[in-house]
Amino acid sequence: MTDVLLPLAVVVPIVAATLPLALGLRYDRVGWPIAAVGTTAVAGIAAAIAAEVVLNGPFAHALGGFLPPVGIELVADRLSVAVLLLVAAVSVATLAFARVAGPRGNPFYSAYLLLVGGLVGMTLTGDMFNLFVFLEITGLTTYALIASDRSGASAYASLKYLVVGTVGASLYLLGVGYAFLATGTLNMLDLQAQIVAQAGYGDPLVRASYAFIVAGLALKIALFPVHSWQPDAYQRAPDSVTTVVAALVSTTSAYALIRVTYTVFTVEFLAANEGIATALLVVSTVSILAGSVLAAMQSNLKRMFAYSSVAQFGMIGAAVALANETALLGGIVHLVGHGVMKFGLFLGIGLLALGYGSREIGDLASAARAAPYTSGALAVLGLGLVGIPPSIGFLGKWYIGVGAVDAGLAGGGAIGIAVAAAIFVSTLFTLSYVARLIERFYFAGGGLPGDHGDAASGSANNAAVDVGRASDDAAADGGRASDDAATDGGRAGDDAATDGGERSGARTADGLPAPVEGAPRSSIVPDRVPTASLLALALAALATVALGFGGFALAEWFDPFLTEVFA
């Protein structure tokens, strides 16, 4: 009866999503408790599914008792369980942050639960059309959540994502239609068998099917050059929404790309269609370089790490196209590691914005003095993103790079070596913008005696005019003017040119980032951030390092899937 856990993992959040709206007709604040219980239940079910897979191997459930290939099947194996655990952990932790940072309201919590249900469904489904259904559930709820703060900028970002996401889903569905025409089935495992038995890897319908599916998922993943929705969506969404979207939405789409490529079309299809594999490899390589360069050019923290995701998912796309065991292992490890790191990075960015109003790199001078634990966790996560060992970021990049070199030496031509070179160059660009972040945290003086960087201009405080707050450094912080305490209560004004109306970081008399009015307080640490969310951030930083030490364990965990794929 353990197979009933699979439908429960999908049904629980989707059914729970109806309750905040239904009960909200009578109770105003019922949404958060329901969402907390729902996501916690999903986490418990995910843990039970993982235990069953470890003890007894992969298992499946036929919905409604209709056996595949006619019925819809849910499947759990080592790969899907890893992504399922990521979805469960991030959804619980982000919900705790959303309770403090917002948005609030029963409709938000309903959409949040529906998003979790869609992500779980994408992870567990064994049916191509069912994957499309969950892809749409995920997409529609993401569009709504991005616009949930009801600002004009977030509405525009949501509309942009809606248009691009609809095109991506349509291309995916078109590809599924071609696969059905070629084989007469939609079950993933049966489709794998029927491609060989009825059509063959060279069949035009099969080739067109894979091409459309990859194009559709590339839009969802945000590979260059179809990435333009992502920076706007990440920047303009509420901070809690950005955290869950950045960690999970593109991650599950990349998981779907791996699943469809290797479970449905198989490595033999890629070997028989080198042109398709090469095209995906070229696009992914360009995405690695373009995303890294664009990230290094940003000053807004959200946009910087949004472009970083374009580069990181380019590495995963390259791992898929290289079609060797080492590279695919690296792609899977990097998929999970990237989800953990981006959850932590965007959570940390959200905490600094919540506590100190800091959203630009220029606002972070001496942030490590005001918020040492938040800054330290962000520094660890940033170095993990660079790929500094021992971190999960290093492990994933290493496996992908070694796989790329192996592919090049085995007769794959210069493209394999080019992928390895692109990863190296990308790492240097990543180091450049992460180093900027760490430099602002720890080495930009912010006007403190004996410091450098901002000391000359930042130390000239005028207590009579500025009520003890340091004036902004116009040379270093993009020409922002200090606020007039008589008219603005000493708060930093908005920088409309660069920050879309968002509050820039104010300063105390000592030149440290000033807490915003009503910022959370903790009796444990000096950081003006919520204690529960800070704990989640610290756990993400620890997981980034701990998973880096688990190289052999991760290889052993995914070995059954890789052995099946490359048997």
pLDDT along the chain (567 residues), means of 10: 86 94 85 93 96 92 86 93 96 93 89 96 94 94 91 89 93 95 92 90 93 94 88 91 94 95 93 90 94 93 94 94 92 95 95 90 87 94 93 93 88 80 94 93 65 41 35 37 35 36 59 78 85 94 92 89 89
Question: Is the CB of residue 387 less than 8 Å from the CB of residue 430?
Answer: yes
Backbone torsions φ then ψ of 475, nearest 5 degrees: -70, -40
Cβ density class 392-425: b for 16+ within 10 Å, e for less: bbbbbbbbbbbbbbbbbeeebeebbebbbbbbee
CA separation, residue 153 to residues 150, 157, 347, 486, 498 (Å)? 9, 6, 21, 30, 13
pLDDT score at 415: 83
Q: What is the pLDDT of residue 455?
A: 40
Q: Determine the Cα–Cα distance for residues 259 and 278; give it in Å rounded to an integer.
A: 19
Closest C-alpha to 549, from 390, 376, 325 = 390
Continuous segment of H or E residues that includes residue 415? helix 414-442
Token couple for 96 = 């705790």
| Measured distance CA(481)–CA(302) in Å, rounded | 23
Q: 214: closest CA among 251, 177, 258?
A: 258
- pTM of this prediction exceeds 0.85: yes
